[in-house]
Amino acid sequence: MDTRDRITTTANRLFYTQGYNNTGINQIIKEAEVAKSSLYQYFPSKEDLLVEYLESTSLSTNSSLRSIADKHIQPREKILAIFDFLLDFSIQTEFQGCNFQNIAAEIPQEDGRIRALIRNQKNQVRKLFADILKPIGKENLADELSVLFDGAMVASKIFKELWPIRSTRKMVEKLL
């Protein structure tokens, strides 16, 4: 891995598992085994690392969700597969909920740049639902599915149990 990759891999892992505010630049430098000057060369501020974290997580999340949907033909199956993916995601050892929801709770209300990135990601998931459902004329359900997607993640994070995602899947089945 090159220096920049070592920095971003380490920062992304720490921001997710410990939280953004609980992670100091010095810990990232130490665990990535890079010089302080290298880190500042690529990322002049800690917020630049946060932007990179959100942008790369957004790309990988959307790519995963689209490839899961692509494995199915029927819109209904595509949507259910996305919610089944949440179940897999939530049983990972390091599961800490939704990366974007967590950052939204950590940053100040007035941080417009970061809030826009988070909102943008949530709008992309919402648009994915709409795109999938358009062929059967049910794209108006995208808003409801979007709330269910976020509810499943936050509730399973808090309870550390599987019932929130199973209950959500039931609602998705009823909706579609």
Q: Per-residue contact track with its own copies, 6 to 35, x per CB under 8 A?
A: -----------xxx-xx-------------
What is the Cβ-side half-sphere exposure of residue 16, based on CA atoms within 13 angstroms?
21
Q: Which residues contact 75 (CB under 8 A, 6 or more apart)?
A: 132, 133, 135, 136, 138, 176
Among 77, 106, 131, 139, binds its own copies (CB under 8 A): 106
Determine contact, residues 165/87, Cβ cutoff 8 Å: yes
Closest approach of its own copies to the CB of residue 134, in Å: 18
Which range, of 43-51, 52-60, 83-91, 146-154, touches its own copies by CB under 8 A?
146-154
Considering the rule CB under 8 A, would residue 130 count as an interface residue with its own copies?
no
CB 140 within 8 Å of CB 57 = no
Cα separations (Å) of 46 from 1, 12, 39, 71, 116? 21, 12, 10, 38, 17
CA 29, CA 42: separation in Å to the nearest integer? 12
68 binds its own copies (CB under 8 A): no
Residue whose CB is less far from its own copies, 39 or 153:
153
Rule CB under 8 A: say whether 147 interacts with its own copies. Answer: yes
What is the binding site for its own copies (CB under 8 A)? 17-19, 21-22, 96-97, 100-109, 115, 118-119, 122, 143-144, 146-152, 154-155, 157-160, 163-164, 167-168, 170-171, 174-175
